[in-house]
Amino acid sequence: MEFKNLRSVLLDYAIAVQNEYKDNLLLSNRLATGELIRSVKYQLDFEERTFIVSLNLEEYWKWVEKGTSAHFPPLDAIREWIKAKPILPTPMKNGKLPTPNQLAYLIGRKISEVGTEGSHDLEKSSKTISEEYEELILEALEKDINEDLDQTFIMFYS
């Protein structure tokens, strides 16, 4: 069985999840360097009777998505993030602006106390699109099965 209708709907589904996730990343302002949003690419694989819809993402997507527990992050990574975002320092208690190294340390210390909050953008995107496509997927599968049965009966009675 070719499952041509199901393939078509799953392709539309994969593109919709990809686009919804990119939109949600934009809305949640998770675009420091833009690497994550540029990496979002859907992948659709058909292996015998298994259909796999997935997204290819930068390795760090899981920390953006789920957040992190308290830990002291590498200060080099924080400095790069400060430049990319950009983060503008506010005056410290003494009235002076922190240097980039001081700012990286302050941010790192805060992360070491509370971790980071996840965006859950992929989870929201997947849920929204899955709800929209659930019936379409079932209809496409039913149509494929009916077409295959029709073809089988035509061959049987010919």
Could you list the pLDDT tens digit for every one of the 158 residues in the chain? Answer: 788 999 999 999 999 999 999 999 999 988 888 999 999 999 999 887 789 999 999 999 999 999 999 999 999 999 999 998 888 889 989 999 999 999 999 999 999 999 999 999 999 999 999 999 999 999 999 999 998 887 766 666 65
14 C-beta neighbours (distance < 10 Å), count: 20
Q: Looking at residue 50, what DSSP letter applies?
A: E
Instruction: Kindly state whether residues 15 and 52 are assigned to the same domain.
Output: yes
Instruction: Kindly state whether residues 4 and 79 are assigned to the same domain.
Output: no
Instruction: Kindly state whether residues 10 and 62 are assigned to the same domain.
Output: yes
Instruction: Kindly state whether residues 27 and 93 are assigned to the same domain.
Output: no
Q: Facing residues of 67 across strands? A: 117
- The confidence score (pLDDT) of residue 144 equals 93
Instruction: Kindly state whether residues 32 and 44 are assigned to the same domain.
Output: yes
Q: Do the beta carbons of residue 115 and residue 67 sit within 8 Å?
A: yes
| pTM exceeds cut of 0.75 | yes
Domain count, the chain: 2
Token readout for 2 is 């070719």
Instruction: Kindly state whether residues 45 and 6 are assigned to the same domain.
Output: yes
Domain that holds residue 128: 1-67+117-158
Three-state secondary structure string covering 58-86: CCCHHHHHHEECCCCCCHHHHHHHHHHCC
Q: Facing residues of 41 across strands? A: 56
Token readout for 37 is 């949003």
Instruction: Kindly state whether residues 17 and 60 are assigned to the same domain.
Output: yes
